Amino acid sequence: MLSKIKRFFNAAPAVNDLPAANSPTLADVTEPVEVAAPVSEPVPEIDVGLVDSYMSGWLRNDTGELIEGFAITEADTLLDIGCGDGGYAGFSARQGAAIILADVDAEKIELARQHVEASGAKSVQALVTDANPLPLPDAHVTRVVAMEVLEHVDDPAQFMAELVRVAAPGALFLLTVPDELIETIQTHIAPPVYFEKPNHIRIFKRGELAQLALDAGLTIERTTQYGFYNSVWWSLYWACENQTLSPPWHPLIENWRQTWSTLLSLPQGKQIKQALDAAMPKSQVLIARKPL
């Protein structure tokens, strides 16, 4: 069980091992999603999670936005701190940016480096670091991505100060943390190691991420939330003993995937998804900028 739990913290089933940028699963899904496979032929997990993320504003190949409001261009140098095995960094690389990968896990960094180099990045730099301090000069990067990282660090204020130091004036920040509600639910169902170092050592209450950014000297440009689908996915996951983070899926998870696929195919699917994302999101999202 312990090894399964450890894998959890570096996994994101909706975005790791992303398909190519021209994958049909990234088609415009602003209209209700048509699920091609019948119930007897479940949609693959990557399709369900990826379509759900796209409907939440992620992975916009047409605009080069990692999420709406966070565009990446070939002129950018992007730092992905806590990058894991590089799922999101691969999207950023396909926009032609220079990518700096940073994580405490050397094995994950190597996987991320290979993935990003194959995705068309202008250049790739891989750093094994805890960001205390970051081995980068001042004002070096134009984009900073820190997704599902701050809940792991001992001193979020010091961590943010270091990210701000290496960011150039005008740089954009994309910060996400697990939502307070789903984390509180996890206190009742997840194994104790979930909330033990080096895993989640704090729960960010709603509004605390924004205050952390303001205290670091950033200006806030957008806040949002997403991921009801993943909130339920991970909550069910703990009940599925011996379930790995790849198929074949336990029937419980498979049934949830089919249910969500069916919902997204219905005329009111998008409206219901948006309401549930607001009520019980997996993550809080903040886009901020370092002043000029």
What is the average pLDDT value for the chain, to the nearest integer? 86
pLDDT above 60 (res 54) = yes
Asked whether the predicted pLDDT for residue 280 surpasses 90, the reply is yes
**Predicted pLDDT at 247:** 87
pLDDT at 25: 35
> Using one digit for the tens of pLDDT, what is the confidence trace for 224-276?
999 999 999 999 999 998 888 888 999 999 999 999 999 999 999 999 999 99
Domain ranges of the chain: 2-289
Position 43 pLDDT exceeds 90: no
Residue range 117-127: mean pLDDT, rounded: 94
- The answer, yes or no, to whether residue 18 has pLDDT greater than 90, is no
Lowest mean pLDDT among 10-24, 46-60, 64-78, 151-165: 10-24
Q: What is the pLDDT of residue 19?
A: 35
Residue 132 region by backbone torsions, left for phi larger than 0, else alpha for psi between -120 and 50, else beta: beta
Distance between CA atoms of 285 and 175, rounded to whole angstroms? 6
Q: Give the pLDDT confidence score for residue 85 in this predicted structure.
A: 86
CATH number of 2-289: 3.40.50.150
The β-bridge relationship of strands 65-67 and 70-71 is: antiparallel
